[in-house]
Amino acid sequence: MVTIEKLGIILSPTNNEFENNGVLNPGIYQEGNTVHILYRAVQNGNISTIGYAKTDGPFNIVERRNYPLINRDFDYESRGVEDARIVKIEDTYYITYTAYDGSNAMGALATSKDLVTFEKHGIITPKINYQNYERYALCNGYKLNPKYHHYYRLHKEMGLINDDLRLLRDKDVVLFPRKIKGKFVMLHRIWPGIQIVFFEHWSELTDLFWKKYIENLADYIVLDPKGIFEVNYIGAGGPPIETADGWLLIYHSAQETTTGCIYHAKAALLQLDKPEVEISRLDIPLFSPTKQWEIEGEVNDVVFPTGHALFGEDLYIYYGAADKHTAVVKMKINELLNELKIKS
């Protein structure tokens, strides 16, 4: 049994133009008693940048900037720099985020040494259209969940399949917080599951790399939707948490219902030395939309976990609530691990 304590909203929209519509889906990095919050700031018109706040302790906000930390600088992110996740490996902060240009939503990378200045490295996920994606994906035979062909079929029905400018949607890009066997390890989401990538250098992520990867996509799926709470799709939340029992992954799931989609927070455990291997996952959500600020907002019925902080045995999960606010829940990490070990 995992006891979940919902501590409520810690960040909401302000009158500042860059964040007057939503403050959500925060990337979290903890340094001792300080929690850095890189949140998605949405202004009217659904245009996003990354805002910044800082805490003393898990939720006592002591600093919040009145301007974006990371802005929209390039055509590939002209409509949005969204849903950052952050890790620090050696002396470098790696910020992965969704770059949105009005049509395409793809994974991008920025790095920093100080969380003050940032260097952008562009799109890091496959830059291919849906026609080529389908051609490569068919090499997997019948190994893939049929939903992996959903967007191709949808674009075909809409008469857009020959549009070379409509590219494969790849979101929820999350790095593990350390290298494994000398390699970066990254989770990402080609709808509807969560896949994994290993690489030594960012320069390896070429068009040819991704072509071969998608031709063998079934071999890189870590988690696919399973059960009624994941019937639509799933996506990685914050960076995996290293524990003696394995990598603890908090992720979101989308449940399709007769009244619309409900987003839940879920949990899974992956092998430490082979994180592509699932040890277990919870059958039921870790937490779901139950409070008014989670049920009613820009998008109703959404809890969207994207980061965490650990104070002793208390695990704090930070999440977007109804695409409007940033909120936090608290639980005992050992209770959660025990539940996952029971499932293994």
Q: Render pLDDT for 58-86 as a digit per residue (tens, 0 to 9).
A: 999 999 999 999 999 999 999 999 999 99
Note whether 266 and 250 are within 8 A (CB): yes
Residue 333 per-residue DSSP state: H
Residue partners of 84: CB distance under 8 A and separation at least 6? 25, 26, 27, 38, 39, 40, 50, 70, 95, 96, 97, 306
Identity of the amino acid at 113: K
Is the model's pLDDT at 163 over the cut of 80? Answer: no
Here the contacts of 110-115 (C-beta below 8 Å, separation 24 or greater) are: 110/70, 115/29, 115/36, 115/52, 115/69
Note whether 284 and 262 are within 8 A (CB): no
Whether pTM exceeds 0.95: yes
Sign of CA dihedral 221, 179, 105, 291: positive
Count, residues in the chain: 344
Note whether 100 and 82 are within 8 A (CB): yes
Q: pLDDT tens digits for 217-274? A: 999 999 999 999 999 999 999 999 999 999 999 999 999 998 899 999 999 999 999 9
Residue 259 per-residue DSSP state: T
What's the confidence (pLDDT) of residue 156? 79
Reference 329, options 285, 268, 270, 280; nearest CA is: 285
pLDDT confidence band for 153 (50 / 70 / 90): confident
Rounded CA separation 11/28 (Å): 13
